[in-house]
Structure 1
Amino acid sequence: MKKIDVDLNKGKVLIAYSNDKSIEYSEIEQKILSNGQNATGLKVININ
């Protein structure tokens, strides 16, 4: 994980990973749940 950005007004979390990292929804969901929030969806965007 390289960076996290949280927008409380929109209810969105942006998590930046390096290109060589495998992204696991369950890992992200667990981190969000451990902070008392619910993960309702995941959108993966590749930025070069």
Structure 2
Amino acid sequence: WTPDSGATSHMTPHRHWFSNFRPLTLKIRLADNSFIESAGVGDIEFHPTI
């Protein structure tokens, strides 16, 4: 996973990465103008390696 520090939001399919998770359904527009729904929101702690 490569985080983009300039991005407004990040997404991951790895729910076990979350230090906390709250179910929340949001519509997300994709590049082809289709929509998907989120499963939730939360926080992920990561330690970058340079």
- Common fold by TM > 0.5: no
TM-score, normalised to structure 2, is: 0.29
TM-score, normalised to structure 1, is: 0.29
The structure with more strand, counted as a fraction of residues: 2
**Relative contact order: is structure 1 or structure 2 higher (C-alpha 8 Å, sep ≥ 6)?**
2
The structure with more helix, counted as a fraction of residues: 1
